[in-house]
Each structure stands twice: as structure tokens, then as C-alpha cells.
Amino acid sequence: MIRNGAKENRVTKWLVSGPPLVFLLVFFVTPSLIMLFTSLRFPGEFGGLAPIISPTEAAQGEHGLTLETYQLFFSDILYAEVFLKSFIVASTSTLICLIMAYPLALLIARSEKRFRNLMVLLVVLPFASNFLIRIYAWMIILGPESVFSHFINGVLSAFGVAPVTLLFSPFAVIVGMVYVYLPFMVLPLYTNLEKHDPALLDAAQDLGANAWQRFWHVTWPLSLPGVFSGSVLVFIPVLGMFAVPDILGGTGDILIGNLIKDQFLGTRDWPFGSTLSIMLTLAVLAITALSTWLARPASITKG
């Protein structure tokens, strides 16, 4: 850092970080605190709302605070199972997204410049249509009488495997998740890969590295920040998603998202819904912190 720029730096720092910080403090942190508070309340008798405490109510001591929802969460292995299951689904979806998105992003980044915009747009465009209608389209593709189902079962029977139902299964849930979040993996990957200097690859080639070595020792390590943020943008939203398991899932496909939705739009148990959400957010933050920490050395070695 340049010494004489220190003061100016401080001003710039707050000019840059100030607005998003203030916005998030007002419109995210405050509502979150409300919900944190809600998690400590009792559900209302009619409709699960624990009304926000008003001074008169507090004076009457009508609704005390309680930790019972936390107790409920930790005393029952059932909820941990739902969490575990969701994390498995989210990890699988993220991994498949990565495998599908990486070649696509790489290809776009290495295409001629005039095609790049179009190719990226083509990735995003389907997502201007309605989310539910796209999921319903998957119901058609995965349906028991669909061409795709017949094809898959044809292949399976050739290997002597009993026919499978694709729709209403964990498989369909993963397909739906991957479909919904694929662009969130492609875009960060692409914006990262796009800035790589081709000279590095040429240099590696000159040094006698084959295609695989060039990828593994040059492109991949450089792209790790993109891989990381893409994974975050897929992994986290999958955890909260409830519509995909609702529509495409079978009888056992319940994820945290469904559980939380049920608390608000079913059981009317806002306190427990808040508690579940808090646990989810904490778990997610812990995972991101951990992976940031793990990813850090790799991005620094680049230099």
C-alpha cells in the first residue's frame, strides 16, 4: 500500500463497502433478528404466529421466551437425518453441476470473442421462462411412458436390470436441482476462466505438457475461485429448495426446505421454522467458512 494514499484509501473503502453494508444491515440483518427472536417464542394458538412483542403484551407477560424449539431440534434424531439427507442431495447436485458446467464454461471462454456473449446468453435464456413450467416439462420427459424412460429401461433391460421409474424418485430430484441451478455454476466458472491468460497454456505446452497436464496444472488451479463460488451458489440454494422435491420427488424425498416450508405453511409453527432456518444458515456459513479456508492457499499460490 502507498503511504500517502492511506487516508484516501480509508475513504474509498467505506465508499465501496458502505452502501451494500448499510442495505444488508437494514433489509437483511434486522429482519433476521426478528426471526431470531421469533425462534424463542411460542407458536400462537390460532395460526402459528408468535406476534412480535408489543410493549403492552410484554408487560402482561403473555408470551414468555423459551428455548423449546432448540430443545426439540436437538432432542430428535429425525431432524438431523433430514439435514444429512439434504446435504447429500446438495453435494451430489453440486458435483454434477460442476461436471456439466466446467466443459461448457471452458468452451465458451475459449471460443472466439464474438460468439461468447451469445453462448453465455444461451445458457441464461431458458431461465427467463417460468420455473414451474420448466419443472413440469421435466415431468413429461421423465414420465413412465416417455421416450426417455423407454430408452433408459431398454438399455437397462439389455443388461438384465429390472425397469426403473424415473419420475417421482431421488434421481428426478437431482435432475431437477441440477437443471435449476446449472447456470449458477456456469456463470462464475466462465467469468473466472475467461480471464486466464492463454500465454500460460502456451508456455506449458512449450515445456512439453500434454493436454491433460496443462489442464490439471494450469487451468484447474487457476479456476478454483470460480469453482468455489459456483459451488456455493448451487449448494446453498439447493438446501432451501422445496418445489423440486415437491413436484419431482417420490414418497421419501423430504429436504430441509420442505421441512421449513411445512412449519410456515402447514403446521403454522413459526418459532420452529425459524429455528430450523437458523440451524441451516449456521451450518451453511460454517461449511462456506471451512471451504474458503481450504480454498485459500490454492488461490494464493497463483501469484
Partner 1 sequence: MTRSRASTVLLTILSAAFLVTGCSSQDQNIAARGEKVLYLFNWNNYIAPKTVKQFEQSCNCRLSQDYYADNEEMLAKLAAGASGHDLIIPTGNAMSTLIHQGVLRPLDKTLLPNLKNINPSHLNNAFDPGNKYSVPYAYTVTLLGFNQQKIIELGLPTDSWSLIFEPKYLKKIKGRVTVLDSQRELMAAALKYLGYSANDANELHWQEARNLILRAKPYWAAFSNTSYVKELAVGNLWVAHGYSNDMFQAALDAKKTGRKFIIDYSIPREGAVLALDSLVIHQSGTHPELAHQFITFMLDGRNSAELTNLTGSGNPNMSAVQFIQPEIIDNKAIFPDQELFTRLEMIQDLDRTQRRRLSRLWTEIKLRNL
Partner 2 sequence: MRRRNIWLCSAAALAYAFLYIPLIIVVVYSFNDSKLNAEWVSFTLSWYVALFNNQEMLTAARNSLIIAVCASFCATILGSMAGLAMNRYKLKFLPILVFAPVAMPEILLGVALLLFFLQVLNLTLGMFSIIIAHTTFCIGFVAIIVRARLQGMDESIFEAARDLGASPWLTFRLITLPLIMPAVVAGALMSFTLSIDDFVITFFTKGVGEPVLPVQIYTMIKVAVTPEVNAVSTLLMLLTLTMIIIATKLDSGVLRLETKK
Binding site for partner 1 (CB under 8 A): 42-49, 72, 76, 78-79, 81-82, 85, 136, 139, 143-145, 165, 167-168, 246-247, 249-254, 258-259, 262-269, 272
Q: CB under 8 Å to 279, separation ≥6 — which residues?
A: 73, 83
For residues 191 and 222, the answer to whether their CB atoms sit within 8 Å is: no
Indicate which single residue of 179, 218, 248, 269 sits in contact with partner 2 (rule: CB under 8 A). Answer: 179
In Å, what is the CA distance from 142 to each residue of 2, 8, 164, 235, 248? 60, 59, 11, 24, 9
For residues 224 and 231, the answer to whether their CB atoms sit within 8 Å is: no
Please report where in the chains the cell 414420465 appears, as a residue.
Answer: 143
Considering the rule CB under 8 A, would residue 34 count as an interface residue with partner 2?
Answer: yes
How far is Cα of residue 289 from the mean position of the Cα atoms in its chain?
15
For residues 20 and 241, the answer to whether their CB atoms sit within 8 Å is: no
For partner 2, the binding residues in 79-98 under the rule CB under 8 A are none
For residues 243 and 37, the answer to whether their CB atoms sit within 8 Å is: no
Find which of partner 2, partner 1, none residue 236 binds, CB within 5 to 8 Å per kind: partner 2
Q: Cβ of residue 269: shortest distance to partner 1, in angstroms?
A: 6
Find which of partner 2, partner 1, none residue 162 binds, CB within 5 to 8 Å per kind: none
| Dihedral pair phi/psi, residue 48, rounded to 5° | -75, 25
Find which of partner 2, partner 1, none residue 153 binds, CB within 5 to 8 Å per kind: none
Q: Cβ of residue 176: shortest distance to partner 2, in angstroms?
A: 10
In the chain the first and final C-alpha atoms are separated, in Å, by 17
For partner 2, the binding residues in 206-235 under the rule CB under 8 A are 211, 222, 225-226, 228-230, 232-233
Considering the rule CB under 8 A, would residue 267 count as an interface residue with partner 2?
Answer: no
Nearer of residues 175 and 186 to partner 1, judged by Cβ: 175
Considering the rule CB under 8 A, would residue 16 count as an interface residue with partner 2?
Answer: yes
